[in-house]
Every structure is written in structure tokens, then in C-alpha cells.
Structure 1
């Protein structure tokens, strides 16, 4: 008799007993079921990521509301999601700088993604606001090179050091453009399945976590070759 038909003739408690007996006799069933579930979740996540890369490519690489460093006319775009309080982002800073120095045809798009507390949000808002004074790159590298946490006091100290107008900065931090950038970063990161910083997008490749300069350059060249 098929199990479904058998189950209909048994009460719920007896069905549970039979299932438990089967698991006790063959506990590998549970491991196999978990593996199947994980494989299905991974497959679904991969499909969502691929679809996001297809649907959101222009926004990821050409968003006019995202800072661009490196060569604005470069032939390969690297997108980095980061947080100023992320130690791995700070550790990756020289790797990213090395990539830009080694390959003059890289466009680096920054997505401010402050996920490590209020200090991170304040820092991200300040950095985005500094664009209105033409000092994003200088401010960004100074913030990434700081010691200690990025909090209001430390962010304002660095803002003074790089010559920002503090009154204008504070006003610009609440602008619609800043709000839109942060909201878009959160939406994109979730769709791409990122769960931490730094996270990189290069062509069809998603690179979560700390990445060495050599790997960044390798993926950049692979993307360049694929586009030719």
C-alpha cells in the first residue's frame, strides 16, 4: 500500500511514531533531508543573484547617485559595498588601492552600506554629503585609514582635517540623494544575497568578504576578456 494511502488509515499520532521509528533506524534520512533543503535554498539564491545582476546591471554600475573612483571612463566596473566600521573593509583598502594603481582602466563604484551601528550610518551620510564639496575621495580614504570606530566625533574631526564646511556637510547629510543611496544599497545587497562587508561585484562575479589585490585584478581581467 502506498504511504499516502496508509497514512489516511492511521491517526496522526501513529504516523508520527512510524516516522520516528524510520529515523531511529536510519538517522541518515535527516542529514539527507537537510542537504536537499540546503541545495534547494542555494539554487534559489543563485537564481535570484543572477537575475539581479541582469535586471540591475545599469543601476549597479552606472547609478549617477553612487561615487565613482578610479577611471570614470574605465572599461571594467568594480562595485564595492562597504561600511566604515568594518575591519575587513579597512584591511581591504590597500588591496583596492593597489588594484586601481595596477589597472588604470578600472571604474570603482562605491555603495555605502552602513550596517554596523549608528556611527556607521553617520559616517556614510557624511561621506555621501561630502560630494557636494568635491571632497568625497579625500574624505573616503581618510575615513578608511582612521583608527578606532567611526562615530560622530571622529567623523567630524576628519571632516575638519580635510577642509569640509561642517555646516554645509551637516545640512547635506539629510538630503534626498543621501537617503536614496542608502536605501538603494540595502535593497541591492539583499537581492544579491550579501550578508556582510566588504562585498564586491565584478561582471558576473560576486565576491563577498576580504579579497586580495591579485584576485581582484584576475577577475577584472576575466570580465574584460569576456566583454571583448
Structure 2
């Protein structure tokens, strides 16, 4: 898969719109400002995403959705445990505390965050659909509290090893006090990259 810089910039702009709308939705839930960083669009391997964290064994909270229709691929929201606990505490208006060594307790307490992330992913994809006119469907969310490398195993296995590298569009989101932060990932399949580019007037 070979992308010129101009085409990578197009994917960054698409992601910027999607993640911006998702973050606006989160800001409305929290009633506070949620900002986003500059999207990073690049050809990467799943192991590169895992290695971008402090450790492949870092405990994170992940929501993964498979997308289908005119586009195929994955969209994910990944947050660290402290950010997720703070998010849930602010939404519920009470302090949520868990034993971070107890996976079962963490999963049970934080499970509702999966639906919040599902809404954010839906908002992200709706913005992308409105921009391109493409029909984008999303699967039931897969929610997990696990090591980052374990969460990445799901999209990696479903992706099917069709290429040595994938187009990964990563966007950071955060509240102004940085007590809540995480990342959106949009990972389209090769054919979907071409569909997007073609829809936006690029020759593929």
C-alpha cells in the first residue's frame, strides 16, 4: 500500500472532522471542554500501535467496533484506567474507585463506558458518512479491560494479514486538565482507503 503525502493529509482531515464531532459529543456529556490533538495518519503495523504505549502490557480500557457497508475496517477508542475512572466519576457525579489489580471488578465497574465509547464511535462515523456520502455500518462494540497488546489482537486477527502495513489514523482527545484523555483510531481496509479517495476525487 503506497500513499503520497497529499493523500495522507486527506485522511488526516477526514479523521479531524470525525474525531472533532465525537469529542464535541463527549464534551456535551461532561459539560466541559474536550479538545483533540492533530491527527496522525501513517502506514503502520499493529505492533507499532502497541509499542507506542508505555508498555505492551499496559492496562487499558478499549472499545473496538468493526465497520462495514461502503467502508470496511475498524474504529477504536482506547483510554487508560485512571482516565476511564475519572470519566465515569464525572458522568455519574460520584467518585468511582476500583482495585486495579482485580480485572473482574474493573470490567464490571467500567463496562458502561463501552456504551459511551460506542456513541463516540458512532458520532465519528456519522460525521465521516455525512462528509463522503458513504454508508457506514458499525458492529456491536467489543469492550475490554486488558493489556493493550491483547486488545490489539482482535483487530489484528480480523484484519487477516492482507498487508504488512495498515493505514492507521490516530487522534488524541483530552479535557483541559488532562485528567481524562484517550485516543481514537480509525483503521480502514485497503479497498476502503481507495473508496474514500475515489469519493473525494483522487485517482487510485
TM-score of the pair, normalised by structure 1: 0.25
Which has the larger helix fraction?
1
Structure with the largest fraction of strand? 2
TM-score (ref. length: structure 2): 0.27
The one of the two structures with greater contact order (alpha-carbon pairs below 8 A, sep at least 6) is 2
